[in-house]
Amino acid sequence: MTQDHSRHGVLLVALGTPDSPTPAGVRAFLKEFLSDPRVVDLNPLIWKPVLYGIILNVRPRKVAKAYQSIWTENGSPLMHISKLQQQKLTEKLEAMTDWPIPVELGMTYGNPSLSTGLKRLQEQNVDKVVVLPVFPQYSCSTVAPVSDGLAKAMLTRRNVPEVRMQKEYHLDPDYISALADSVRRHWDANGRADKLLMSFHGVPQRYVDEGDPYEMQCHATGDALAEALGLSSDEYLVTFQSRFGKEPWLQPYTDETVNSLPKQGVKSLDVICPAFSADCLETLEEIAEEVRDEFLEAGGERYQYIPCLNDDDAHIELMAKLALAQMQGF
């Protein structure tokens, strides 16, 4: 007998994106993002003057230019891809259950907010919500803020829904298989480089020292992907990108590693970002543009970026399986 999913819904959660690629749009986004103590846990008496007095007056203009370089006629790439994921996941869930299961978007920061996503689900009579953050590896700076945001969103609700949240899926066989298939397709179309570099978003080293399992899960994902591709230990690298501030972050750093590789005889490089479920500023501008230029300037000859899983069919099927597994007995 098929389970009755009539009161279930899915809240698909991404980090978020500015509403516009303008200094004002970026400033509003960064203000919310960098004010979260899960992201920057410095003493507010020290951090707030720096944030409001320096960062929010200087950084938005620079970041806006970066967003302008990747903005499309569909708007923010992350938002456009997230909407495609939402649409395809809705269709996949109905195909797998023979019952419509609403899927709404909620961003940890920016719009639509987590509260808006919950409201839209409840307006469709959903009272059992599966929260699916699109972060394969758990971190206190990505998944934990989703939990915080959900609790905050429910503070003003008289009738709160039941909630289950997917914490991580860094070794899910379907996730590893989807990544491996994307690499193989890239190799089939473009040939294979000297090395495969797996660049994960970084976090401060201190977070890991204090108990965040993120680094361990990133390496586990990297090793599993390498095994699925039949790579030896000298054919791939795991690095960490997008560091911010002065304290040490997880190493090795992606940019420093890429700069050093040509001197070691690595002339061609394939790069994939397994921690990102949708292409965004950190992949399209930082990895596909900035880091590529650094590699070529350092003496590299060929650099290829392998896109995120985005709305690939295997990725959508993975999401559907994760959501349905959470619904069992719920």
Shortest CA distance to 105 belongs to which of 94, 117, 96, 115? 117
β-strands 162-165, 195-201 pairing: unpaired
- Degrees to nearest 5, angle at CA 107 with 102 and 109: 160
Distance CA 276, CA 224 (A): 16
Distance CA 271, CA 236 (A): 10
Annotated binding site: 201, 282
User: Which residues are CB-contacts of 181 (< 8 A; sequence separation ≥ 6)?
Assistant: 314
In what helix (H) or strand (E) does residue 242 lie, and over which residues does it extend?
Answer: none
In the numeric block, the tokens 């320096």 are attached to 54
**Contact between residue 8 and residue 99 where contact means Cβ atoms under 8 Å apart:** no
In the numeric block, the tokens 């938002």 are attached to 79
Using a 10 angstrom Cβ sphere, with 0-12 exposed, 13-18 middle and 19 or more buried, the burial of residue 73 is exposed
How many C-beta atoms surround the C-beta of residue 80 within 10 A?
Answer: 18
Question: Residue type for 187, please?
Answer: W
Distance CA 243, CA 250 (A): 8
Annotated binding site for Fe(2+): 201, 282
